[in-house]
């Protein structure tokens, strides 16, 4: 398992003031970048989401968090677990083969999302 920074996503502000919305079939995150400009991340389609306070977050595999950086967790145990559960319920389903595990450090929380893709948009007038 390793962390790989997501290209074309700005570094997060130390206080990103993030909002999290589920707009099925996607998760929408709005946050401030390191220059206090607002931007939006769209994770779609998503399969899972969890938010954990930093006090309870166990860094996967002893890896170090990259400050202010959105990363992909490669060889994710969480994705493997979801694939195993899916196989028990529907052994012909293959949609989780496209799943990627994203990790966002949001000041006092960590947001994890399993989704196919992420894309970034600037928010005008920010």
Domain boundaries, the chain: 2-122
Cα–Cα–Cα angle for 115, 9, 123, nearest 5°? 95
- pLDDT, tens only, 50-89: 999 999 999 877 789 999 999 999 999 999 999 999 999 9
Percent of the chain topping pLDDT 70: 99
What does the DSSP 8-state code read for residue 79?
A: H
Dist CA 103 CA 3 (whole Å): 9
Q: What is the pTM of this model?
A: 0.94
| Cis amide leading into 101 (omega within 30) | no
3 state DSSP class of 61: helix
């Amino acid at each position: 398992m390793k962390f790989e920074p997501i290209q074309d996503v700005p570094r997060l502000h130390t206080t990103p003031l993030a909002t999290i919305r589920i707009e099925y079939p996607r998760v929408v995150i709005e946050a401030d970048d390191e220059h206090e400009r607002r931007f939006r991340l769209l994770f779609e389609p998503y399969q899972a989401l969890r938010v954990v306070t930093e006090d309870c977050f166990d860094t996967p595999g002893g890896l170090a968090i990259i400050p202010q950086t959105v990363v992909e967790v490669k060889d994710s145990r969480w994705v493997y677990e979801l694939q195993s559960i899916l196989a028990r319920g529907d052994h012909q389903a293959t949609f989780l083969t496209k799943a990627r595990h994203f990790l966002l450090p949001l000041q006092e929380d960590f947001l994890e999302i399993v989704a196919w893709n992420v894309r970034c948009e600037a928010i005008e007038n920010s």
